[in-house]
Amino acid sequence: MQEITTGRIIIVGAGLGALYAALCLAPRPVLLISPDPLGSGASSAWAQGGVAAAMAQADSPEAHALDTIAAGAGTVEARVAATVTEEASAHILALTNFGTAFDRSADGGYVMSREAAHSFARVVRVQGDQAGAEIMRALIERVRNTPSIQVLEGVLARGLDSDGTKVTGVEIELAQPEGSAPVMLRGAGVLLAGGGSGGLYALTTNPARIRGQVIGMAARAGALIADAEFVQFHPTAIDCGEDPAPLATEALRGAGAHLINSEGARFMAEVHPLAELAPRDIVARAIFAQTQAGLRPMLDTRAALGPAVLAEYPAVAAACARNGIDPVIQPIPVAAAAHYHMGGVATDAHGRSSLAGLWVCGEASSTGLHGANRLASNGLLEALVFARRATQDMLEECRASETDVVALPDLPAGETPDETLVAQLRQTMTAYVGVLRDAEGLQRALATIAQIEAAQPDCAQLQNMTATATLITAAALARRESRGAHCRTDYPDTLPEAARSFLTLAEAIAFRSNPEELPA
């Protein structure tokens, strides 16, 4: 394998966390690895709601932290919630200074939306549902104009070079249909900021490439993984047959839209006191139950928004238009879809993983902020906070050196995942590791994942996917209770003692063949 050594810090990913981290590191030389052109393949660009931050006078970081802890169903690290919410407003101001055009009132204040399980309207937004796209636009423009940042587009990270205790390089290949032979990049340090795992499911709101590969490569290198079983299903993906499914932002419900079924009946009021604004796990299960009962669930914006939905929520309007839905006069069909992975590579308060030389931020990490059920719009906030924390730590730990621009050699074709196997993996995860789970289904999923893994053992991309799928499924089998987004029909009760889960890939594989040997 060819090797390239650089004095740059290597950032894997091109979403909000990756771009913000690169800017926080400036003028320290950075190499940013992106499989797609900047802005086109990251979940951040699709985020509709915005960033949660206590900016209103009546609100406070303490109230934001309490809401985060309540939504997380007992497994949120209170210290993490307190410090993240305290820092939130500073990052909104930083994004504003980078050129993000947040919605502002006539007096210059930030316009705030209210989303599920928030006690205040505290989600800073852009044009109703354009926050992710606008934040990414501003950051990409700033990155393009920052000389210290080199962006390698069309390049995919596929593995980490590690002795089990320390990461010393990133294995990359060309992100093209035929793949390529790998190249080993060795830099001053590695920050993983490459997204979550939603695309491991057949019904998801995540971009096509977001299929757990970053978590998987860290796990294969020996990193400790936390809270892998907690996958959040967004209750209101637009049920129109698109893959990935477009999102009907939670802000619509915050603006008064109601959930109804095919008989025109509202059903959330009898499920939870907050009705449509209940925590996401509760709404997702209610949506799923309606679907299972053959009563197609729908989001009704007609009375609450009327024609305003078209102007105020352009992403939703465009998705509806593509699929022949007029939300002014018709309710929008919805379904629960894999949306956000609360689990990921376990990190400390500085974004450090269990492996020296490896930092992680964004959805690929598990910091202890989200617990068993992420509070709406805390995802982008976590990415911002830990991108800055990780980079501050890296500036102290990673030796600075002069460096040239990295140029890749010509590479022959390689091996890419068999799409039939990927489809089988996604279908398996949706069928057995989805909104509702039980031991029989989870064991069946583990066996199927092992077969998929064995069918293409030399394909690094597929091995990364199956590693993450194995961790999610094994952790779900080990947690014999229902908590937050993790719902076991065979263990419906929540245990009195709440605890986070920690698992290595080796442990998950060890009891894949003997599921009675559950990890402690």
CA 79 to chain centre: 22
Residue in 192, 56, 45, 35 with CA at minimum distance from that of residue 112: 56
Both tokens of 470, joined, read: 């194995």
- For residue 13, the one-letter residue type is G
What residues have CB less than 8 Å from 170, skipping those under 6 apart?
10, 12, 33, 157, 159, 160, 161, 184, 185, 187, 190
Residue 502: exposed, middle, or buried by beta-carbon count in 10 A (0-12, 13-18, 19+)? middle
Which run of H or E residues covers position 298?
strand 298-300
Per-residue DSSP letter, 352 = B
Helix (H, G, I), strand (E, B) or coil at 282: helix
Helix (H, G, I), strand (E, B) or coil at 366: strand
8 as an active site residue: the answer is: no
- Secondary structure (DSSP) of 373-425: SPPTTHHHHHHHHHHHHHHHHHHHHSPP---PPP-PPP--------HHHHHHH
Catalytic residue among 280, 285, 483, 512: 280
How far apart are alpha carbons 266 and 188 in whole angstroms? 56
What is the sign, positive or negative, of the torsion defined by CA atoms of 84, 86, 88, 93? Answer: negative
Instruction: Yes or no: say if 89 and 54 are a contact pair by the CB < 8 Å rule.
Output: yes
**Phi/psi at 236 (nearest 5 deg)?**
-125, 55
Helix (H, G, I), strand (E, B) or coil at 112: strand
How far apart are alpha carbons 362 and 215 in whole angstroms? 11
What residues have CB less than 8 Å from 157, skipping those under 6 apart?
12, 33, 170, 171, 172, 194, 213, 214, 217
How far apart are alpha carbons 396 and 390 in whole angstroms? 10
Alpha carbon distance, N-terminus to C-terminus of the chain: 39
Residues that are catalytic: 280
